[in-house]
Every structure is written in structure tokens, then in C-alpha cells.
Chain A
Amino acid sequence: MQSVSTLPTSRPHPDRFLWAILIGIGALLAVAAVTLVLLRQPARDLPAGTPGATVQQFYQAMDARDYAAAYALLSDGMTDKPDEGTFMLNATQNNNPSSSERMVINRETITGDQAIVMVDITYFYNSGPFGGTGEYTSSEIFMLGHETDAWRITKLPYRYQPAPRP
């Protein structure tokens, strides 16, 4: 039994729409590549002698695993200041610097000789081909005191504090 047949009524249209989309995607990738190249620069140092600069030096020392330099930024007047060995042991066990973290200063408050620096840490994660790139942000607080020639850390965020001894 012969079924009703149909024939194409028009020739295939050139897919200009697709070409336009491909050009758009190409332009987007080009911008992304330029962004990647131009902004792959190390972070600028904050002005010396500010609480923010001290916090920045602390993070840079921890990133470089230079725990002695990080310890040197702690104030002697810090409550429950750990000894250097305990600090380095804790840092070795818990410090995992990652290129997928980004730390920016949210707020810096100076009151006389005391300062509070709140830092936002954004963690980027790649969650698969559909989930793409996600991020979440948490905050850390540093308390600092101004000593003879520089600001020193008087209270560390929780993750850098060694566990208290029993």
C-alpha cells in the first residue's frame, strides 16, 4: 500500500543564524582569553603600615608556606598565643592554599590602636559540565593592635587557631 508522500517545498536555507552565533561565541572566547592573560598578575601590595597590609602579608606567608614569617606577624600580647612549634604544626596540617580561593578585604575598622579587618574568602568550584562554576563566600575576622612600628595580629580567624591544650 502506497502512503501519501510529501516533498520538500523549499531549498535549505543558509544557516546565517548559526554563523552569527558561532561568531558571537568566538568573540566571547576571545574576550575571555584576553581577560585571562591580562589579569593573571599577582595581587598588588597594600600600603605598608596599614592593618590590611599586615593581613595581606599573613596570607602571602601562609600561601608560600613560610610559617615562620606568618608567626612573626603575631603580636606578643596575643591572648593564648601558641608557641611557634604548635603554630607551624597546625599550619602544616590544616593549611591548604588553593588557586581557587580569592580573598578580599570587606571592611577595615581602626579605632585608636586597635583594628578589625574582615576578609571575604570566595571559594570557586567546578561542579561538572552542567553545574559549571560555582562559588560561595565566607568571612574571616582579624583583630590587630598597633605596636611600635607596625600592626600585629592579636586574634586570628578560627581556622588558624591551634586546638587548645587540654
Chain B
Amino acid sequence: MQVARRIYLYLVSFISLQIVIMGAMSLGQLLITQGLSGQPGNLGNGDVLRMEFSSGTAALVVGTLAWAIHWGLAQRAVHPDRPGAVDERRSVLRALMLHGVLLVSTWNIFLALAQLVQSMLSALVDAGNGRAAMENSLRTLPVLIIYGCAAAYYWRVRATDTALVGERERVATIRRWYTYLALAGSLAVLVFASADLLRYLWDIVTSYNPPLSGTLISADSLTWIMARIGTGLAIWLFFWLPTQQQVAGSPAEQRALLRKVYGYGLTALAVGMTLVSLGLVLNDGLRLLLGSDPLAASGKTPLTAAGEGLATALAFGTLWAYQRWVLHTDATWLAAEPPRAATVRRLYHYLISAISLSALAGGVADLLYLLITFWLDRAAPTLVSLTTRSETISRDLTLVIVGLCVWVYQWRLLQRQATAPDAPAERQALPRRVYLYLALFASVLTVIGSVGWTLYQVLLTVGTPAQANLLHDLSRPLSAGLVAAVVLIYHLLVMRGDLQARPVVAVAAPEAALPSPAGAVPVLLFVASAAPPATIGALVRNALPAGSHVVAFPAPGLEPPAVDAWLRSQEPPPAPPVETPRGPRLTAGAQPVGAVS
């Protein structure tokens, strides 16, 4: 019942608040437009103005009414005199609503701020454009003021809730969602804009051609890029610096899974963009070497095109390097990596491995096919020139070079971790098994397809004159099948090694009674360690008095709250109150049901 009430109150509060904001912004924009047009108060000037005024006012009135009622009820429920006020302040749904408002407000403030900065820069640079720039600046003010007020108010509400009742883990998770989404968004804008700026400046330096009219460069473009960089950087620092300080002093923040997801997610983006940019530069270079012009359509010079790719790689490469440094620093906070954080790390590495392996295998298969067709065509009357296939060759070579470098680097790292004697969990980890089975799955299907197609083509020719094009037709399935077979065999060997290395853990039969000395009481000890269960069992046994018995079970994914909940479920229910019996009392030495010796 509470949940349904909270869903209703907070959802309606959120929606009505957005309606209030839209209405207020609409009226604000209208006022500014009227003020700038020099005809204030002339609302009768056209149906459009009347419509805008009516819709803005209606939204503001209705939204304010609905928001005031529902938010008022929600705030009344958290009044200190109300029963359940503490639970209400701690509720996840309340946190969702607060942070939802903050997220929407942050995004809109960011966009408006970027436009304001751009307008101000335009006004500074071009005095003749001053009036237009001033108008654009004024139009951002309603957004900044209204969303700013909403954000400030709900930030204060959130701070009050935290100060009064603390922060539970689920509410902390919602807070982290908001923080890391804001961080990811602002950082992505910053890096994309930095790449844009580097490319723009490189174009000016290397391929500048004086224009026929207007000014030498487009101020709109450059000021927009600069505004995105400045605003993105400001918003990112606003969230990042306090987050880093918080992480430095809080084990809970250090262990937070979302921080790992943020870190590895951005790293994956940075890696992808960097490698794609470098790959495109390499591809263009190879095409030029092979005699075709990849830049004919764009009209750019090789120097300009190469520099643009390298500029993008520089911007995203910097992000990659910084994220790696942050992840490395995070790892030094904790004595042992939490299991779920380890899973995120493995997911990242195995995903990169899978993608690079696909690129490598695809490139090798296609190159093999091209080599076979070149060899078959060499005696043909019309030779296929290298130039006509240069686009394909350079693409395949790029895939092979980039794929090979990335896959070898990642796979060696993963194999080193998996075969380390003190880290059996790496070898049996789920992401590793998923990667291996995916590699096997894709390669088996390819082998099946290529063998099947080959057999089909061969059987078609049985009893008929030899087909000159048979080898030609078979070259693609054969090359794909060969590469897939190599991938299949290699990963089968890896999987066999993993299965052979699986530790055997002695687990006590669940029904067997543990021998125990007199007075012994079972104790459940929760240990999170990278050491194997047998080692942990031996260490604990050695630390205990003689005669103690220890059984260690591997329990991957188990967390203390789950154990606690299970133990509580095992407690006998409280006995119902009964009248004092007049019969004989319990004799000495008799034990209540459920006691353990």
C-alpha cells in the first residue's frame, strides 16, 4: 500500500513539476521575445502570440496546482511528527524522484549554459553580431533560472533527507546513478568537442583556402565547439572533484559497482573511438600505397585527412589513458577486488577480445580469399589489377593489423591472469566462459556453413564436365572455413586447459553429522578472499584449538546480507504465550528442541 501511494505521489509530482517548468519557460520566452521586439504587452498581435500565452499560462496554473498538492502531501509524510517519516525519507521511490528531477535539470542547464557561452563568445568576437548574440543569450535565461531553481530546491531536499536519516545502500545507488550519468554525459561532450576542435584547427593549418566572401572562418562553428568544451569541462569537474574526494574517504564508494561500470564503460568508448580513428588513418594510407585515392570525394589532402584521424585519436586516447589511471588508482584502495567489480573488469576485457578477434578473423579470411583468387586469376586473359582491389585489400589489412595488435595484447593479459596460481577464480569466471563458448559457437557455425557449401558445390559437379569456376566459387567458403577451424581448435584447447585446471573442492555430504567435541557450537564464518577454499579452510583450522572441525565451501556470488537473511529464516518462530502449566517442570539436563552441541 505504501509503495503504491509513493509511486502515485512522486510520479505525479515529477510530471506536474515538468509541466510547471514548461509553462514557466514558455511565458519567459514570450516575455523576452516581446521585450526584444519593442512591442511589449501587445499580445493581440497575431494568433500565435495568443496561443503561446494561453498554453504557457494554462500549463503553469494547472501544473502548479497539481505539483503543490502532491508534493505537499509527500513532504507532509516526512514531517518529523508523522509516524513512518524516517522510512518515507529513506524510501527508494522518493530518491528516484529527487534524482530524476536533478538529472533532467542538470541536462537542460548544461545545454542552456553552452548556448549562453556561445552567444557571449560570438558577441565578443563579432561586434556587428552583438544584437543577435544578446538576443540568443537572453533566450537561455528562462531555462537557466527555472531549471536552476528546481535543481537548487531538490538538491536541498535531498541534502536534508541525507542529514536527517543517513543514506541506505539502495538510495546511495540511485545517487550514484545520477552522479555517474552526469559525469559520463559531460565527459563525452567534452571529449567529442575537443576532438572537433583539434580537427578544426588542423584543417585551418593544413588545407586553408581563402573564401570568396564572408570571413575567413566560421565563427559560429568555432564558438559552439569552444562553448561545449568550456561547459562540459565545468559540469564534469563540478561532479568529478567531489566524487573523488568522497571515494577517497568511503569504502562503500570504493566498492561501488556503478563506479566500475562507469570507468570501464568510458574506457571501452575511448578504446573504440581511438582504434577506429587510427584504423581509418591506416586504411587511407594503405589505399594510397596501393594506388587508389581514398580522398577523391572529400577533396582533402592526405596530410589533412591523416591529421584529422590522429586528432580524434589524440582526444580519445587521452580519455583512455586517464581512465586507465583512475581504474588503477581505484584498485589500490582495496585489499581485494570485490567479486562483482572483477566481473565488470572481465566483461570489459573479454568484450574487447571478442571484437578484436572478430575483426582479425574476418580480415584474415578475406585476405586469404583475395590471395586465392589472385592465384587463380593469374592465368586468366584479363588480370585483375591490384588497384581495383586496393580498397578491399587495405580494409582487410587494417582489420588484421589492428585486430591482431588488440587481440594479442588483451588475450596475453587475460591468459596471464587466468593461469596465475593464486587466481583460480579468473579461469572459471563467467565472462571467460561466455567468450570461449561464443568463439566456439561462431567458428563451428562458420565451419559447418563452409563445409556444407563446399560439399554442395562439389556434388553439383559430379558427373558433369569439370567447371573452370569451381575453385573460384569455393575460395570464399574455404578461406572462411579454414580461419574458423583455426579459431575453433585454439579455443577448444584453451577450454580444455580451463577444465583440467578446475579445482576439486572437498565438500562435506550435507547429511553427514559433523563430529564435534563436547560444548562445540557451529559457527558460520564468511570469508571473501581470492585464496582457494581449501587454503582458507586449512588456515582457519590451524588457528583453532585441537579437535575443531572446519569445512570450507566455495560460495561464488554470496554476500553477507544473503547469509544473514538465510540464518534469520532458520531461526525458530517465537513460541506463542501459554498459561503457566501446573504439571511437572523440566528436569535438569533436558534441552529445548533445536539446540546443537
A residues whose Cβ falls under 8 Å from a Cβ of B: 1, 3-10, 12-13, 15, 17-18, 21-22, 24-25, 28-29, 31-33, 35-37, 39-44, 46, 52, 55-56, 59-60, 63, 99-106, 119-120, 124, 126, 129-130, 132-133, 135, 137
Q: Does the CB pair B218–A100 fall under 8 Å?
A: yes
Mark B552-589 against chain A: 1 for CB-CB distance below 8 A, else 0: 00000000100110010000000000000000000000
Known: A41-B215, A137-B299. 15 other contacts (CB 8 A): A4-B527, A8-B248, A12-B244, A17-B321, A22-B233, A28-B229, A35-B222, A39-B204, A40-B217, A43-B213, A102-B211, A102-B214, A126-B221, A129-B189, A132-B192
Contacts of A120 in B (CB 8 A): 299
Q: How far is the CB of B563 from chain A (nearest CB, A)?
A: 7
> How many residues of B sit at the interface, in one of the four size bands?
35 or more
Q: Is the CB of B329 within 8 A of A43?
A: no
Give Cα distance in the complex from A130 to B107, angstroms: 13
Q: Which of B212, B563, B564 contacts A43 (CB 8 A)?
A: B212
* Complexed CA–CA distance, A10 and B330 (Å): 10
Residue of B nearest to A139 (CB): B299
Residue contact A39 to B194, C-beta cutoff 8 Å: no
In the complex, the answer to whether B213 meets A36 with C-beta atoms within 8 Å is: no
Binding site for A on B (CB under 8 A): 110-111, 114, 121, 125-126, 129, 188-190, 192-194, 196-198, 200-201, 204, 209-226, 228-230, 232-233, 244, 248, 251, 254-255, 299, 318, 321-322, 325, 329, 332-336, 526-528, 560, 563-564, 567
B527 touches A130 (CB 8 A): no
- B216 touching A39 by the CB < 8 A rule? yes
Which of the residues A10, A18, A21, A31 comes within 8 Å of B333, measured between beta carbons?
Answer: A10
Given the known inter-chain contacts A9-B333, A103-B211, A120-B299, please indicate yes or no for A25 contacting B233, CB distance below 8 A.
yes
**Taking chain B's interface residues, is the majority helix, strand, or loop, or is none over half, making it mixed?**
helix
Contact between chains at B335 and A6 (CB < 8 Å): yes
22 A-B pairs with C-beta separation under 8 A: A1-B567, A6-B254, A6-B336, A8-B248, A9-B335, A10-B332, A17-B322, A17-B325, A24-B318, A32-B225, A33-B226, A35-B217, A39-B216, A39-B217, A41-B215, A41-B216, A46-B212, A52-B212, A99-B129, A99-B220, A100-B218, A100-B221
A132 CA to B196 CA, complexed, in Å: 7
Asked if A40 and B126 sit within 8 Å, CB to CB, the answer is yes
Which residue from A13, A18, A29, A104 sits with its C-beta under 8 Å from B209?
A104
